[in-house]
A and B are shown apart, each in its own frame.
Chain A
Amino acid sequence: AQTVTQSQPEMSVQEAETVTLSCTYDTSENNYYLFWYKQPPSRQMILVIRQEAYKQQNATENRFSVNFQKAAKSFSLKISDSQLGDTAMYFCAFGTSGTYKYIFGTGTRLKVLA
């Protein structure tokens, strides 16, 4: 069975600074995808970034980038130039192409300080 672990329940960062959220996972699958989702107070899940396991290049989306270490089963999210609107819960998620189900980590509550 797959598991996703987020070891940082809460984090804070000063506005305009950079923060890294950690995520590790465990799987015996070879073909899978990893995701970071943002859940603001509205509770709407918003896809931040996704990474295909077969791609060696780390995904980037504007201020968001990942450090994907497949051998170490690590998938961290870096937020650059943090903004107040980045304040939210961030969930790391794992999905396999066979089942299409997502397994979520326990989340990291990020607070961006003015």
Chain B
Amino acid sequence: GAVVSQHPSRVICKSGTSVKIECRSLDFQATTMFWYRQFPKKSLMLMATSNEGSKATYEQGVEKDKFLINHASLTLSTLTVTSAHPEDSSFYICSARSGYGAGLNTEAFFGQGTRLTVV
């Protein structure tokens, strides 16, 4: 299947700083990328949908000013956690799908995730 690379895989940052997570589709053009958050032993919660060249659509309860999403190209979306707090510590996963194909039958491919620890 197609490859989605997420970087970094682990990051530790100090409270109050910002951290950027990258999600790249390596061998396909991703018109849509999704950002999920996963708490320990919990399910994946969709945070936002990122469409190339337009503003991200955030799910209810997700602070768009805190979790900045940029999808500037067909192969890269970034999630920036601004003014990070310890409660932002979590596992963040991106997925990407190609817009070229029939509907949702085009599979969404997941990155390997980023473990963020805010100290």
Contact = CB atoms under 8 A, between A and B. Distances in A.
Given A42-B112, A43-B112, A50 B107 contact: yes
A100 B102 CA distance: 11
A11 interface: no
Interface in B33-54: 34, 38, 41-46, 49
Interface string A32-50: 1100010000111111001
Nearest to B103: A97
Given A43-B91, A95-B104, A106 B42 contact: yes
B107 A104 contact: no
B91 A101 contact: no
21 contacts: A31-B103, A33-B104, A43-B38, A43-B93, A44-B110, A45-B110, A47-B1, A47-B107, A95-B104, A95-B108, A99-B49, A100-B32, A100-B49, A100-B108, A101-B46, A102-B34, A102-B46, A103-B46, A104-B43, A104-B45, A109-B41
A31 B1 CA distance: 24
B112 A104 contact: no
B97 interface: yes
Interface of B: 1, 32, 34, 38, 41-46, 49, 91, 93, 95, 97, 103-105, 107-108, 110, 112-113
Contact of B44 (A47, A91, A97): A91
Contacts of B38: 43
A106 B43 contact: yes
B110 A107 contact: no
A95 B44 CA distance: 14
A100 B97 contact: yes
Contacts of B44: 45, 91, 102, 104
A60 interface: no
Nearest to B51: A100
B111 to A, nearest CB: 8
